[in-house]
Amino acid sequence: MLYSIARAAGFLALVCPTILSAALPSEPLAPTVPWKSDGIYQHNKGRDYGCSHGRKSRNCWSDGFNVETDMDEKWPDTGKMVTYNFDITNTTMAPDGFERQMMVVNGQYPGPTIEAEWGDTIVVNVKNSLTNNGTGIHWHGLRQLRSCQMDGTNGITECPIAPGQTKTYTFKATQYGSSWYHSHYSVQYGDGIVGGIIIRGPATENYDIDLGILPFTDWWHVPIFTVNAAALHAGGPPTADNLLVNGSMTSGSGGKYAVTTLTPGKKHLLRLVNQGINNNVHVSLDGHPFTVIAADFIPIIPFTANSLNLAVGQRYDVIVNANQTVGNYWLRVGTGGGKCDGPNANAANIKSIFRYEGSTSGNPNSTGITLPTGCYDETNIVPYVKTTVPRNLPQELKLSFSQTAATNNLVQWHINASAIQIDFKTPTLQYVIDGNDSFPTTDNIYVVGEAHKWQYWVIQSDNSTPPLPHPIHLHGHDFYILDYAQGAQWAGDTSRLITDNPIRRDTATLPANGYLVLAFESDNPGAWLMHCHIPFHVSAGLGFQFLERQREILGSIGDLGGFKDGCKSWKAYERNVEGGFIIGDSGLRL
């Protein structure tokens, strides 16, 4: 009975096995093929499978929640709280064998992975034990629904955490999937304040083992603040010395390849995250194609890929089937090595090892594909939960570039002629508290007043911009990608817009000298930064804020969560900073 209802509704692919095991002979979670070949998949909002999550029913979650649930509309209330204590310190480490000063979480690099379940409340007590920097942690991609004061964006939603001070971040995991956290204090995360976030939830394909996060980070042998100070006056992007895979790589100074263990015959979920600075990463695993099941936090219709390209900030959840001869295999990472992907002095050698249990240790002998180069977003992405975005004209935000001889060739990126420059002492939220609408021009604030309306924006490069792509990231929302093109002007033709289930994610590439048309719904009052995720670029101004429904913010977030005390401590600290901060540095950067 249930079987035929499901079939008639075209939902065979989606129905859970626990209720159907009698009717269905073989593994019931739909294989990828029928979804892809005949395109049958439908959105059935909030449908309750009444089945439980398991190895063979990853599409299920809990009563009333499954992979068809639109995370923007509902999420479980687990009543559960997961708590982490982060101590940020200044320490010497050598992730690729080269010793250098780093700033890290709990003496670890990468930092501890935050693990929670969909609907949990996450609490992180962050103590700043640095002597000479503020800090603040942003939870990349987390929507912070009605909790913008927990977004960790200094100068916007908080003052930086002063040395010796602690801030408690409390927020709800309304989404599930893979992400990362990082300092948002200038370019600081490039010195090591990063870590993974796993929020367990349903999936669009079955797997046996969750291998967790596999982070990629382009890496410098000099402190990132030094690199940035030079980049602010240079003609092009700085060349990274290396690229770390899961916090490890080889170099002229030693180091080692990261090793990931596979269990023969099992399907492994692997969460790929570009936690880097300037390099795109092109990733492949010898002999093992990826089955891609999520892009950023969005579950997608599974597709197979021999390699994937991740811009800074992007994530893909993939399944690796360990069905090859037991042995060792290279995971290959290409940066392209060019201006667009981001130059890397070690571009030819970046790898890690995937080792089947029971095989000898040592470097693999495997052969693989030639990795593609270039900077682009994957295009095979079809969100599993379908959304139709009404067609409308976007408002323009013009991206331009300047390098000024009179100021020692200072580089600045401008949005509508203004490079963002926040004031650590007076975050946007302070203006909201004061009811003060006289924002400094350099805060780059765009007011979004109307509630629950689609907002349409086109970021358009003008002719002054160097030919570089920019990974654009929005806080507080996922966005929908309606159109984009390289080296082109948006022509104002709304018939071009992709409005039928467009790609939804939180980080997308603005192609070199081109445009990117995005839409999001104004369903989350707050001050939300949108910026290029290349720290050097946002440091040089490439950011702006949406001040969404400002009169509703205070009522919607409730308790300010230590905002006022945090600013008091920061002001007392900043007064005593000698020499001040670098000219031209916006103070942002993720």
- Of 15, 507, 475, 122, the closest CA to residue 298 belongs to 507
Q: Give the shortest CB-105-to-ligand NAG separation in angstroms.
A: 14
Q: Which does 91 bind (CB under 5 to 8 A by kind): ligand NAG, Cu ion, none?
A: none
Interacting positions 96-135 with ligand NAG (CB under 6 A): 101, 130-133
- CA–CA separation, 135 and 163 (whole Å): 8
Residue closer to ligand NAG by CB (options 62, 228) is 228
Q: How many helices (H) and strands (E) does the chain have?
A: 8, 34
Residue 436 within binding range of ligand NAG, rule CB under 6 A: yes
The residue (of 451 and 577) whose beta carbon lies closer to ligand NAG is 577
In the complex, the smallest distance separating the C-beta of residue 7 from ligand NAG, rounded to whole angstroms, is 26
327 is a contact residue toward ligand NAG (CB under 6 A): yes
Binding test (CB under 5 A) with Cu ion, winner from 140, 282, 355, 470: 470
Phi then psi for residue 6, to 5 deg, are -60, -45
CB atoms within 10 A of CB 388: 11
What does 416 interact with, of ligand NAG, Cu ion, none (CB < 5 to 8 A by kind)?
Answer: ligand NAG
Residue whose pair of structure tokens reads 């670029």 in the numeric block: 537
- Which of ligand NAG, Cu ion, none is residue 446 near (CB under 5 to 8 Å by kind)? ligand NAG
DSSP 65-102: EETTS-TTT-------EEEEEEEEEEEEE-TTS--EEE
Q: Tokens 């700043």 belong to which residue?
A: 128
Strand 267-274 and strand 137-139: the pairing is unpaired
Which residue, 440 or 487, has its beta carbon nearer to ligand NAG? 440
Contacts of 168 (CB under 8 A, 6+ apart): 123, 124, 125, 126, 561, 562
Q: Pseudo-torsion of CA 525, 531, 535, 540, nearest 10°?
A: -120
Cα dihedral sign, 434-539-534-182: negative
Q: Find the binder of ligand NAG among 200, 398, 425, 571 (CB under 6 A).
A: 398
501 or 539: whose CB is closer to ligand NAG?
539
Q: Does 90 bind ligand NAG (CB under 6 A)?
A: yes
Question: According to the binding rule CB under 5 A, does residue 58 interact with Cu ion?
Answer: no
Number of Cβ within 10 Å of residue 579's Cβ equals 5
Judged by CB, which is closer to ligand NAG: 48, or 574? 574
E-assigned strand segments in 234-327: 242-245, 250-251, 254-255, 259-262, 267-274, 281-285, 290-295, 298-305, 308-310, 315-321
Quick one: 466 exposed, middle or buried, by C-beta within 10 A (0-12, 13-18, 19+)? middle
**How far apart (Å, rounded) are the C-alpha atoms in residues 167 and 225?**
24
DSSP state letter for 16: -
Nearer to ligand NAG, 44 or 248 (CB): 248
Across 33-64, b (16+ Cβ under 10 Å) vs e yields: eebbeeeebeebeebebebebeebbbbbbbee
Region of 322-330, 369-377, 489-497, 514-522 interacting with ligand NAG (CB under 6 A) = 322-330
Is residue 233 a contact point for ligand NAG (CB under 6 A)? no
CB of 529 to ligand NAG, least distance (A): 16
Binding partner at 532 among ligand NAG, Cu ion, none, C-beta below 5 to 8 Å by kind: Cu ion
Compare residues 138 and 146 and give the one whose CB is closer to ligand NAG.
138
By the rule CB under 6 A, 190 interacts with ligand NAG = no
Q: Is 365 in the site for ligand NAG (CB under 6 A)?
A: yes
Using the rule CB under 5 A, which residue among 288, 315, 537, 589 binds Cu ion? 537
Q: How far is the CB of 374 from ligand NAG (least distance, A)?
A: 25
Does position 223 interact with ligand NAG (CB under 6 A)? The reply is yes
Residue 211 in contact with ligand NAG, rule: CB under 6 A: yes
- Residues found near Cu ion in the complex (CB under 5 A): 470, 532, 534, 537
- Residues found near ligand NAG in the complex (CB under 6 A): 90, 101, 130-133, 186, 211-212, 214, 223, 225, 246, 260, 289, 291, 321, 323, 327-328, 360, 362-365, 395-398, 416, 434, 436, 438, 440, 446, 581
